[in-house]
Amino acid sequence: MTDPQVAVFMLGIFIITIFLGFPICFTLMALGIGFGYYAYFEADRMWLHYHAAVAHGADTFTLISTWLDGFFRDRIFDLFVNQTYSVMSNDVLTAVPLFLFMGYIVERANIVDRLFNTLRIASRRVPGSMAVAALITCTLFSTATGIVGAVVTLMGLLAFPAMLKARYDTSFASGVICAGGTLGILIPPSIMLIVYAATSSVSIVKLYAGAMFPGLLLSSLYVTYVVGRAWLQPHLAPKPRDDEIEDISTGKLILLLLTSFFPLAVLILTVLGAILFGWATPSEAAAMGSLGGLVLAIAYRALTWERLQESVYLTVRTTAMVCWLFVGSWTFSSVFAYLGGEQTVAHFVTALHLTPLMFLIMAQIIIFLLGWPLEWSEIIIIFVPIFLPLLKHFDVDPFFFGILIALNLQTSFLTPPMAMSAYYLKGIAPPHVQLVDIFKGCMPFLAMVIIAMIVVYVFPPITYYLPNKFYGTQ
């Protein structure tokens, strides 16, 4: 087999092992080191010191240790160590644990339940009021945390039972929670955008600025769909009866908004504003957000030692997953490129004589299909780098490409068989809620994602306006 064929074989083995359920990061490391040993193998270098030891009449133990030393002198081990160090010292990735900690602290500060209840009361006259309140809460909570599992789980415990109690259709309510929860990987401070920035070398602050309007666009499409569907089919989201509507004065409603919405809004605007205006790096802003989350938790008397421990533990666990994924994927990608895998893919795609639009459509379709069996992290870290070298050939801006991917990857949480949002919700839903009902409710929101991608492509200023406004370059 030629080296490019070995690279394709390596990629094929990886895909098969993923379907078999092997852990992603350790599979990447194992394949990277295994095939890397073959790629960088130098027989003369391996046996050089061994033959010298034999010539000097070394004893058996010395010969064995010398041979083992030669065996582990393969350059793949140096590459693996260097990749590990590069990931741990990456300034962009420093923001990951800080934003995660901020999100977990806010989640446990009882701010979100106050916010949802306030918005539910404020929108009580709107068709599908509870669903609208849930989507707005998800949007605001997503700006405080890029953790999809946390948003879906919390809203599944908070809003989902309330909607079922209000006689909402199970599939309709399920789709609202799952779709709203996925906004966390698009709306800043998205962990996914940080990972894409580290992978593509695109400025994270520009990605944050560029993703703001597309994120709000998608959220608005969700709300529009919910209101329209509830208006056309009232049985899906029945209006509350008069005796179910809380009689509340305007003054009390304003007070509720000030105590629930205002503190979270100030925290979010401070963190994002510091990044967008260049007052702080993403890492510094994330540290500020973490401190702000702690202050809010203390102010709401929701910070306990147990909750603090849980937040730290979840932060460390998620950060470790992201970092080891990077180590494995960069090792895997380096070996794949060294064997000629990227050139093989590039030659194949360029031979198709695609236009830039055709290339974008093909790439997004592939990413959409990859979202069926894989999570966003594997797609961004493993498969997106295969497309990145082709962007220059097709005159596609990596920044704009990243925003389209961020929109597209909403679908990876909503499409079976992976559909992690559906599984998060199923894990905390009442027993009578079936997984097929949740999947059914997610489908209309996939159409909203596709519409948002088309709108963003047709009207690029939606993406470029804020980066151009703040940084003056496209």
402: Cβ–Cβ under 8 A, 6 or more apart, which residues?
Answer: 193, 196, 197, 200, 202, 207
Whether 70 and 216 map to the same domain: the answer is: no
Give 61 or 20, the one with higher predicted confidence.
Answer: 20
Whether 226 and 324 map to the same domain: the answer is: yes
Whether 336 and 434 map to the same domain: the answer is: yes
Residue 84 lies in a domain: no
Cα–Cα dist 357/367, whole Å: 15
Cα–Cα dist 239/372, whole Å: 35
Calculate what percentage of the chain has a pLDDT beyond 70: 88
Give 287 or 2, the one with higher predicted confidence.
Answer: 287
Query: Whose CA is closest to 136, among 307, 108, 121, 48?
Result: 121
Q: Is pLDDT at 404 greater than 90 in this prediction?
A: yes
| Average pLDDT across the chain, whole number | 81
111-124 average pLDDT score: 80
**Among 76, 101, 121, which residue terminates a domain?**
76
**Among 50, 76, 102, which residue terminates a domain?**
76
Q: What is the pLDDT of residue 471?
A: 79
Cα–Cα dist 251/268, whole Å: 25
Q: Which residue has the tokens 């993923």?
A: 18
Whether 420 and 303 map to the same domain: the answer is: yes
Q: What is the pLDDT of residue 455?
A: 95
Q: What is the pLDDT of residue 464?
A: 93
130-148 average pLDDT score: 81
Whether 317 and 219 map to the same domain: the answer is: yes
Residue 4 lies in a domain: no
Give 69 or 157, the one with higher predicted confidence.
Answer: 157
Cα–Cα dist 60/285, whole Å: 59
Whether 213 and 260 map to the same domain: the answer is: yes
388-408 average pLDDT score: 90
Q: Is pLDDT at 266 greater than 60 in this prediction?
A: yes
Do residues 290 and 68 lie in contact, with contact meaning Cβ atoms separated by under 8 Å? no
Q: What is the pLDDT of residue 378?
A: 74
Banded pLDDT at 151 (limits 50, 70, 90): confident
Which residue range forms the structural domain that includes residue 46?
42-76
Residue 34 lies in a domain: no
Q: Is pLDDT at 376 greater than 80 in this prediction?
A: no
Residue 125 lies in a domain: yes
| pLDDT tens readout for residues 192-245 | 888 888 888 888 889 989 999 999 999 999 999 999 999 999 999 888 765 555
Whether 319 and 403 map to the same domain: the answer is: yes
Q: What is the pLDDT of residue 12?
A: 83
Whether 259 and 373 map to the same domain: the answer is: yes
Number of domains forming the structure of the chain: 2
Whether 56 and 203 map to the same domain: the answer is: no
Residue 149 lies in a domain: yes
Here the tokens at position 235 are 């049985």
Whether 169 and 258 map to the same domain: the answer is: yes
Banded pLDDT at 300 (limits 50, 70, 90): confident
Q: What is the pLDDT of residue 306?
A: 86
387-393 average pLDDT score: 87
Q: What is the pLDDT of residue 66?
A: 58
Q: How far is CA 4 from the centre of its chain?
A: 31
Which range scores top for mean pLDDT: 172-181, 195-204, 344-353, 464-473?
Answer: 172-181
Which range scores top for mean pLDDT: 42-46, 233-237, 338-342?
Answer: 233-237
**Among 76, 101, 124, which residue terminates a domain?**
76
Q: Which residue has the tokens 């097929």?
A: 436
Residue 345 lies in a domain: yes
Whether 271 and 186 map to the same domain: the answer is: yes
250-256 average pLDDT score: 71
Residue 7 lies in a domain: no
φ and ψ at 416, to 5 degrees? -70, 160
| pLDDT tens readout for residues 347-374 | 888 888 888 889 999 988 988 888 777 7
Q: Is pLDDT at 43 greater than 80 in this prediction?
A: no
∠ CA 200-21-335 to the nearest 5 degrees? 40
Q: What is the pLDDT of residue 226?
A: 94
- Across 24-33, 243-252, 417-426, least confident range: 243-252
Residue 158 lies in a domain: yes
Alpha helices, H only, 233-355: 250-276, 282-299, 305-338, 341-350
Three-state SS at 57: coil
402-407 average pLDDT score: 92
Whether 266 and 352 map to the same domain: the answer is: yes
Give 123 or 242, the one with higher predicted confidence.
Answer: 123
Cα–Cα dist 93/193, whole Å: 11
| pLDDT tens readout for residues 11-29 | 888 878 877 777 777 888 8
Here the tokens at position 258 are 């000030």
Cα–Cα dist 404/457, whole Å: 8
Do residues 148 and 180 lie in contact, with contact meaning Cβ atoms separated by under 8 Å? no
